[in-house]
C-alpha cells in the first residue's frame, strides 16, 4: 500500500479510503485542495486538522459526494466513487448542527435512514434500539429533539449515522456547538464508540486537543495540502514542518542562520547564541531555519554541563498555573520564549527581572524549514 508525497499508508490496515492526486478549485484558478494523496485504513480514526480555509471540509464533502474533484480520483473499498451519488456511497454523516428533524421523535429520526433503504419495520425497531443503547440513550425513543440537551441531540445524530451500520462515518466539526466540558465528554464517547464498532471514521476539526484525544492519525492541513500525517505523539514529538510545530501544542520558535553542519546535526546562530539542533529540513551553512523546542523541555538553572544547549535568559513574567509555572523569558533574540516547570517549591526562588541559565537537549531541538515572522503569526 503506497501513498503520495503528502499522504501516508493506512497505518497497517487494508486501505478503505484512497485519495489519488485529488485537487479542487471552485473558480478554475485557486486550488482549495491540491494534489491530495492519502490512504485511510479499514477501521482507522483519521482526523483532518487545520485552520479555517485549509481545505479539510472540502475534502470531506468530496468524499461524501457533495462536491466533485476538479482532478484526481477517490476510491472507497477499492472502487471509484466518481459517478456515485451521496446516497449510494453507504456513508454515515454527523454535522455540527445535528440536522435532526424537529417534528419527529428520536425513534423516527433514527428509523428514517433505515426506511429509505427499504429495511423491514421489525429490523428497523431492532436497529433503533441497538443504536440508542450504543449512545446511552435507551428509553428516549419518544422524545423530540427540542426536549433534549445539546449533548443528547449530538448523541442522537451519531446514532442516526450509525443505525444503518455503515463501514465509513464522516464527522464535520460535530462538537463545535457544545460547551467545553461537554465537548471533552463527547470526545471520549465518540472514541469509545469507534473502538467498539471498528468503523472507519474521517473526522474534521480545527481543535488540536480534540484531534489528539480521538485520532489514530492526524493529517495537518495548510492551504489545501497535507503538511504532515502521523499519530498524535509523532506530530507532537517529531514535527517535520514549522507549521506543524506551531499548530500542534505550544512551541518555542527561534529563527536563525545555519553556521555549521555535522551528520544529522546543525549549529544555528539565533540572536547572540549558538544552538545545536537535529536537522529536519534540508539546509546548508548560511541558510535560515526555524528552531523548535517545547516549553516543558526547557530546564531553568540546570546543573552545569547537563545540557549541550545552555544559554542565559532574563525572566520577563511568571504565571502560576497550579501544578506548574509558565515562565516567559528573553533570550536568543526573542522576548517570548516560554518554559514550563513543575510547581515543586513555588516561584519564590525566581523573580521577574532575574537572570537565569536555561538548557535543553539537542534531541529536543529541531531545525525546521524557515517560517518568517509574518507567516508564523498568520
From first to last of its 378 residues, what are the pLDDT tens digits of the chain?
A: 233 334 444 446 799 999 999 999 999 899 999 999 999 999 999 999 999 999 999 999 999 999 999 999 999 999 999 989 998 898 999 987 768 899 999 999 999 989 988 899 999 999 999 999 999 999 999 999 999 988 899 889 999 999 988 999 999 998 887 888 888 888 998 999 999 999 999 999 999 999 999 999 999 999 999 999 999 999 999 999 999 999 998 999 999 999 999 999 999 999 999 999 999 999 999 999 999 999 999 999 888 788 999 999 999 999 988 888 999 999 998 999 999 988 875 555 789 999 999 999 999 999 999 987 545 444
% of the chain with per-residue pLDDT over 90: 74
- Beta-carbon contacts of residue 261 (< 8 Å; ≥ 6 apart): 267, 279, 283, 284, 285
- CA 111 – CA 203 distance, rounded (Å): 24
Beta strand 288-293 with 366-369: parallel, antiparallel or unpaired?
antiparallel
Alpha helices in the chain (DSSP H): 56-64, 106-116, 121-134, 150-162, 180-197, 208-214, 232-237, 242-247, 373-377
Handedness of CA 27, 30, 36, 42 (dihedral sign): negative
Q: How far apart are CA 174 and CA 45, in angstroms?
A: 15
DSSP one-letter string for 102-161:
TTS-HHHHHHHHHHHTT--HHHHHHHHHHHHHHTT-TT-TT--GGGS-HHHHHHHHHHHH
Rounded to whole angstroms, how far apart are CA atoms 24 and 18? 16
pLDDT score at 4: 39
- pLDDT of 1: 29
Q: Specify the residue for cell string 507532537.
A: 236
| Cβ-proximal residues to 348 (8 Å cutoff; 6+ apart), any chain | none
The set of cell numbers assigned to 174 is: 460535530
Q: How far is CA 222 from CA 44, 49, 241, 243, in A?
A: 22, 9, 11, 8
CA distance 40 to 55: 17
pLDDT (0 to 100) of residue 116: 86
Q: What does the block give as the cell for 337? A: 520564549
Ranges of each domain in the chain: 15-237, 249-377
pLDDT value of position 377? 44
* The architecture CATH gives domain 249-377: Beta Barrel (2.40)
CA atoms within 13 A on the CB side of 112: 19
361 backbone φψ class: left, alpha, beta (φ>0; ψ -120 to 50): beta
Q: In the block, which residue shows the cell 545552555?
A: 310
Grid coordinates of 365? 531541538
Kindly state the cell numbers that stand for 245. Answer: 510545530
CB of 91 closer than 8 Å to CB of 85: no
Q: Measured between alpha carbons, how far is 372 from 233 in angstroms, rounded to an integer?
A: 26
Query: Quick one: CATH architecture of 15-237?
Result: 3-Layer(aba) Sandwich (3.40)
pTM for this prediction: 0.88
Amino acid at each position: 500500500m503506497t501513498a503520495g508525497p503528502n499522504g501516508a499508508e493506512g497505518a497497517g490496515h487494508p486501505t478503505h479510503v484512497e485519495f489519488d492526486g485529488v485537487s479542487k478549485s471552485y473558480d478554475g484558478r485557486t486550488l482549495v485542495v491540491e494534489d491530495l494523496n492519502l490512504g485511510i485504513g479499514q477501521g482507522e480514526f483519521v482526523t483532518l486538522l487545520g485552520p479555517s480555509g485549509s481545505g479539510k471540509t472540502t475534502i470531506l464533502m468530496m468524499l461524501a459526494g457533495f462536491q466533485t474533484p476538479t482532478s484526481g480520483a477517490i476510491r472507497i473499498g477499492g472502487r471509484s466513487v466518481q459517478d456515485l451519488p451521496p446516497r449510494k456511497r453507504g456513508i454515515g454523516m454527523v454535522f455540527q448542527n445535528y440536522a435532526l428533524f424537529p417534528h419527529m421523535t428520536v425513534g423516527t429520526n433514527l428509523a428514517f435512514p433505515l426506511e429509505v433503504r427499504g429495511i423491514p419495520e421489525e429490523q428497523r425497531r431492532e436497529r433503533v434500539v441497538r443504536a440508542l443503547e450504543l449512545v446511552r440513550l435507551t428509553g428516549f425513543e419518544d422524545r423530540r429533539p427540542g426536549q433534549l440537551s445539546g449533548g443528547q441531540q449530538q448523541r442522537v445524530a451519531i446514532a442516526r449515522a450509525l443505525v444503518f451500520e455503515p463501514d465509513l462515518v464522516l464527522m464535520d466539526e460535530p462538537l463545535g456547538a457544545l460547551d467545553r466540558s461537554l465537548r471533552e465528554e463527547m470526545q471520549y464517547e465518540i472514541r469509545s464508540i469507534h473502538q467498539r464498532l471498528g468503523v472507519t471514521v474521517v473526522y474534521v476539526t480545527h481543535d488540536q486537543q480534540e484531534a489528539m484525544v480521538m485520532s489514530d492519525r492526524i493529517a495537518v492541513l495548510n492551504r489545501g495540502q497535507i503538511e504532515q500525517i502521523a499519530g498524535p505523539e509523532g506530530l507532537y514529538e517529531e514535527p517535520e514542518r514549522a507549521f506543524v510545530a506551531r499548530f500542534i501544542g505550544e512551541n518555542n520558535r527561534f529563527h536563525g542562520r545555519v553556521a555549521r553542519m555535522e551528520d544529522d546535526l546543525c549549529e544555528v546562530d539565533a540572536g547572540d547564541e549558538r544552538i545545536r539542533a537535529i536537522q529536519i529540513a534540508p539546509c546548508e551553512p548560511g541558510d535560515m531555519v526555524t528552531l523548535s523546542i517545547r516549553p516543558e523541555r526547557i530546564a531553568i538553572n540546570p546543573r552545569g554541563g547537563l545540557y549541550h544547549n545552555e544559554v542565559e535568559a532574563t525572566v520577563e513574567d511568571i504565571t502560576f498555573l497550579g501544578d506548574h509555572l509558565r515562565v516567559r523569558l528573553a533570550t536568543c533574540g526573542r522576548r517570548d520564549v516560554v518554559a514550563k516547570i513543575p510547581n515543586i517549591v513555588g516561584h519564590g526562588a525566581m523573580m521577574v527581572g532575574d537572570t537565569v541559565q536555561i538548557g535543553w537537549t539537542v534531541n529536543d531541538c529541531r531545525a525546521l524549514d524557515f517560517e518568517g515572522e509574518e507567516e508564523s503569526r498568520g
